[in-house]
């Protein structure tokens, strides 16, 4: 304990001591764990992160950089901003990949993941790393994602399954699953602020919302009336063909086709999905015997889901002001 005490202040250790001294009855732990985890996270100082954000958003002393030096410095800051935007993603998926399959102290893994996700989200709002309006948008992502999970895992569909037991399952789906979709929304919101994003030639909002609705509906209807994913993708291609995202990796604005950003984010989600299924968080039918890579076709599904998520984010008041919609 002396070594740990040297590394962690006593005020940080207190919640851990309380946690380990708590009854090991699973239901009792589930009731007490959120408060104990919250005590621990509140003790983690948010000031360094806010200082980092201020530093990343005020890079005006690199104006003299040129050539290869500018490229490497911009690339470095691009990577730092991306990592910072993935704060929720990194914390949540660290828990996903490190919590034992059997759970901890009799508490099922899925239940612990839900508690961890709730505490991380509450801490980010408390630390003013997210606003309440942004939290509302993330809640929408959670509900939208959870609804999709309930349908896809239902007895008549069985696209994938959550095989482990949990107290916090609803309709056979663990409640933490919605946070995997919320993580995408959190990333986009954080990236929008850190990169000072602007969108040029965004389509009319009613058109963007219509396409986003079709994307979501197709995840359900393709089980009954055929998969129209590629027709919707073609419409999306035409709708966003002129759209450009403007971002600041350092002190100068750079541009990227918005469609390319959608595809790129979808690719990284597909990679995360492969890692998640490898660790047995959920399984597709072809992975029940032995693990295999997720079909590359899921990349397109994730890219379309990113477009739907982006549409929700783009309707936040403070973000909408930075979106140019031609008349």
pLDDT digits (tens, 9 = 90+) for 108-142: 888 888 888 888 888 888 888 888 878 888 888 88
8 Å CB contact between 187 and 272: no
Mean pLDDT for 134-155 is 86
Q: What is the dihedral of CA 173, 176, 177, 183, to 10 degrees?
A: 170
DSSP 203: P
DSSP 104: B
Q: What is the pLDDT of residue 47?
A: 60
The residue behind tokens 């958003």 is 57
What CA–CA distance (Å, rounded) separates 146 from 78? 32
The residue behind tokens 């990679």 is 271
What residues contact 163, with CB distance under 8 A and at least 6 apart? Answer: 280, 282, 283
What CA–CA distance (Å, rounded) separates 110 from 176? 7
The answer, yes or no, to whether residue 296 has pLDDT greater than 80, is: no
8 Å CB contact between 77 and 250: yes
Q: What is the pLDDT of residue 37?
A: 53
3-class DSSP assignment, residue 283: strand
What CA–CA distance (Å, rounded) separates 125 from 106? 30
Lowest average pLDDT, out of 231-235, 276-280, 300-304, goes to: 276-280
**CA-based nearest residue to 204, from 320, 282, 94:** 320
Q: What is the pLDDT of residue 8?
A: 42
User: What confidence tens digit (pLDDT) does each residue in 76-96 have?
Assistant: 888 889 888 888 888 888 888
Name the pLDDT band for 239 (thresholds 50, 70, 90): very high
Per-residue b or e along 43-64, where b marks 16 or more CB atoms closer than 10 Å to that residue's CB: eeeeeebeeebeebeebeeeee
What CA–CA distance (Å, rounded) separates 50 from 36? 24
Q: Rg of the chain's alpha carbons, rounded to an integer?
A: 21
What CA–CA distance (Å, rounded) separates 64 from 27? 60
Q: What is the pLDDT of residue 20?
A: 47
3-class DSSP assignment, residue 274: helix
Lowest average pLDDT, out of 41-50, 90-99, 135-144, goes to: 41-50
| Percent of the chain whose pLDDT exceeds 70 | 79
What CA–CA distance (Å, rounded) separates 81 from 178? 25
The answer, yes or no, to whether residue 235 has pLDDT greater than 80, is: yes
Mean pLDDT for 34-59 is 64
What CA–CA distance (Å, rounded) separates 266 from 278? 18
Greatest mean pLDDT among 153-157, 275-279, 293-297, 319-323? 153-157
The answer, yes or no, to whether residue 201 has pLDDT greater than 70, is: yes
8 Å CB contact between 316 and 137: yes
Q: What is the pLDDT of residue 11?
A: 47
Could you tell me the two tokens for 322? 């930075």
Work out the mean pLDDT of the chain and round it to a whole number: 79
Mean pLDDT for 2-19 is 44
Helix (H) or strand (E) holding 246: strand 244-247
The answer, yes or no, to whether residue 293 has pLDDT greater than 80, is: no
């Amino acid at each position: 304990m002396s070594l740990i005490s040297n590394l962690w202040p006593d005020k940080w250790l207190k919640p851990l001591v309380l946690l380990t001294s708590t009854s090991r009855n699973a239901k009792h732990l589930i009731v007490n764990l959120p408060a104990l985890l919250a005590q621990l996270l509140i003790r983690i100082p948010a000031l360094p992160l806010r200082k980092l954000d201020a530093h990343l958003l005020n890079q005006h002393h690199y104006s003299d950089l040129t050539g290869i030096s500018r490229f490497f410095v911009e690339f470095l800051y691009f990577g730092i901003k991306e990592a910072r935007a993935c704060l929720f993603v990194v914390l949540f998926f660290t828990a996903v990949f490190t919590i034992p399959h059997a759970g901890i102290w009799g508490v099922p893994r899925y239940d612990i993941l839900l508690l961890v996700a709730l505490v991380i989200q509450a801490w980010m709002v408390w630390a003013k790393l997210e606003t309440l309006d942004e939290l509302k948008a993330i809640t929408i992502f959670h509900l939208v994602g959870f609804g999709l999970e309930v349908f896809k895992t239902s007895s008549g569909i069985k696209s994938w399954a959550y095989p482990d037991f949990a107290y916090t399952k609803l309709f056979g789906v663990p409640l933490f699953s919605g946070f995997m979709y919320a993580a995408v929304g959190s990333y986009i919101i954080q990236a929008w602020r850190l990169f000072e994003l602007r969108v040029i030639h965004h389509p009319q909002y009613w058109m963007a919302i219509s396409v986003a609705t079709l994307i979501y509906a197709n995840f359900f209807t393709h089980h009954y009336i055929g998969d129209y994913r590629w027709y919707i993708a073609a419409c999306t291609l035409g709708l966003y063909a002129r759209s450009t995202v403007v971002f600041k990796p350092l002190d100068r604005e750079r541009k990227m086709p918005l469609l390319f950003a959608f595809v790129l984010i979808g690719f990284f989600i597909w990679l995360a999905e492969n890692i998640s299924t490898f660790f047995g968080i959920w399984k597709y039918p072809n992975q029940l015997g032995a693990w295999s890579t997720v079909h590359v076709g899921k990349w397109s599904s994730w890219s379309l889901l990113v477009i739907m998520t982006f549409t929700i984010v783009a309707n936040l008041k403070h973000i909408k002001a930075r979106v140019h919609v031609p008349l």
